[in-house]
Amino acid sequence: MLTGKGIKHIFRKRISQIPRRSGVRLIACGNKQKGSSTMQEKKNILTYEGLRKYEDELHDLKVVKRKEVAEKIKEAREQGDLSENAEYDAAKDEQRDIEARIEELEKILKNAEVVVEDEVDLDKINIGCQVRILDMEFNEELEYKIVGSTEANSLKGRISNESPVGKALIGCKVGDQVEVETQAGMIQYKVLEIQRSN
């Protein structure tokens, strides 16, 4: 287990890998997460892993996919009459989709705040934590990673801090019981464990 200088060195190394150009802010989630921001534009809270994923996708779209679709359009144009050219129409649709996704990713990254997972306070549940909870009605253990809304994926056990369960769990400690109102009624959970996810 790393302590002191070792952690600081890794932390600095990881932070240095985050591109400055994207306007990314770093936050260490402590105990002040609830209702702390009054900014007009919504901040996209990302884990470091999420940031890298979006950066890689944006790079791929700009460098690889744009060239591929430009080549498809060029080839389709060379076939002549564009009014009845299905390949041309498909390539133009693909180009529109790529540009829309690039715009979406740039907006996400422009307003991104990155949770420094090495500094997440493990006394309480917060964004960046891996939690193990007990569904008290069915006596079933569940594991979730709490992430910002842009990274949420319930099929992969990643729930948003803005979801009903995520909201209820934020700020809870091991041993706490929470009630979550869902469409199926009230569900009770007990917090069993809080860990770092990385």
DSSP-derived 3-state class of residue 44: strand
DSSP 25-37: EEE---S--TT--
pLDDT for 163 beyond 80: yes
pLDDT for 183 beyond 50: yes
Share of the chain above pLDDT 90, in %: 57
Domain with CATH 1.10.287.180 in the chain: 21-115
Distance CA 20, CA 135 (A): 42
Reported as a pLDDT band with limits 50, 70 and 90, residue 121 is confident
Domain with CATH 3.10.50.30 in the chain: 121-196
pLDDT for 8 beyond 80: no
34 versus 41: the higher-pLDDT residue is 41
Given this model, what pLDDT does residue 24 score? 55
pLDDT for 2 beyond 80: no
The region, left, alpha or beta by phi > 0 then psi within -120 to 50, assigned to residue 44 is beta
26 versus 21: the higher-pLDDT residue is 26
Overall pTM surpassing 0.75 (yes/no): no
Average pLDDT across the chain, whole number = 81
Reported as a pLDDT band with limits 50, 70 and 90, residue 90 is very high
- The stretch 116-141 carries a mean pLDDT of 89
CATH fold of the domain at 21-115: Helix Hairpins (1.10.287)
Amino acid sitting at position 174:
V
CATH fold of the domain at 121-196: Chitinase A; domain 3 (3.10.50)
pLDDT for 101 beyond 80: yes
pLDDT for 87 beyond 70: yes
